[in-house]
Amino acid sequence: MNIGLIIIGDEILSGKRQDKHLSKFIELLAERGLSLSWAQYLGDDRALIVEHLKRAFASGDLVISCGGIGATPDDHTRQAAAAALGQDLALHPEARELIWQRVQQMATEQGTTVAADHPDTLRRFEMGVFPAGASIIPNPYNKIPGFYVGDVHFVPGFPVMAHPMMAWVLDQRYPQLRRAVGVLEKSLIVQGAMEATLTPLMEAIERDFPGIKVFSLPSVDHPQWGRHIELGVKGEAALLDAAYAALKTGLAQYGAQISTELVR
């Protein structure tokens, strides 16, 4: 099952805020023996979000979308999800109850009273208006839930909320995807060789070891290794050692110089 991440917000694209979701989601996946297949950054453009969510719903991928599920004018994700699904929006009863609990908790902390029909409360309830048929994702930080439909999941943009919600999705909805975490990548530093020369070797490794991917990361000014290529293999642990051995043998035949071996 491919796994994708969508990060929504003009503040990310403008540089006002630095994205913290991509690196954290990759970390959460790695802890479960999984890896990210793709990621997208989108601005607060409802039509654009609708277009990408239609693809996400149709893909069959496990997708997490971060941001834009609030109730201010620049939040479009809930409405875009409903449009992408061709569904109406509706106040989710469990989400309403969780939001009401949070509203009451805040009022108690502030020493005030609050009414369920107060305009401010009604605006807060809008954060629980999801596409019809959606299910909720619990938010351990402040109870304001996210939601999911099928394999597409929606969490807030705040990392302190989003990251435990991402973990909940992986552990509660997809425990069957978890794999034993072993060595999933081996690489080495190659000097004195060009990528073009080594390309036939890379192609042969992927041909001879289905399920293994070869990667090549050239550098021209590394402070330790200077001009070099980090060449490696990644994939299922059961195949990794044999593919890596074949890579080393092939490099020796090409006369390439191996200066360092890396295991991740």
pLDDT digits (tens, 9 = 90+) for 44-84: 999 999 999 999 999 999 999 999 999 999 999 999 999 99
Selection from 60, 64, 44 nearest residue 137 by Cα: 64
* Residue 208 and residue 145 share a domain: no
**Domain end call among 146, 161, 177:** 177
Q: Domain of 147: which CATH number?
A: 3.40.980.10
Note the pLDDT tens digit of each residue in 78-124. Answer: 999 999 999 999 999 999 999 999 999 999 999 999 999 999 999 99
Give me the amino acid identity at 124: R
- Domain of residue 241 covers 185-263
* Residue 16 and residue 130 share a domain: yes
Q: Which letter, b or e, does each residue of 46-74 get, where b requires 16 or more Cβ atoms within 10 Å of its Cβ?
A: eeebbebbbebbeeebbbbbbbbbbeeee
pTM: 0.85
- For residue 122, report the phi and psi dihedrals to the nearest 5 degrees: -60, -35
Q: C-alpha angle 93/96/102, rounded to 5°?
A: 150
Q: Domain of 240: which CATH number?
A: 3.30.70
To 10 degrees, the CA torsion angle through 55, 61, 62, 68? -10
* Residue 243 and residue 141 share a domain: no
Residue 76, both tokens: 């479009």
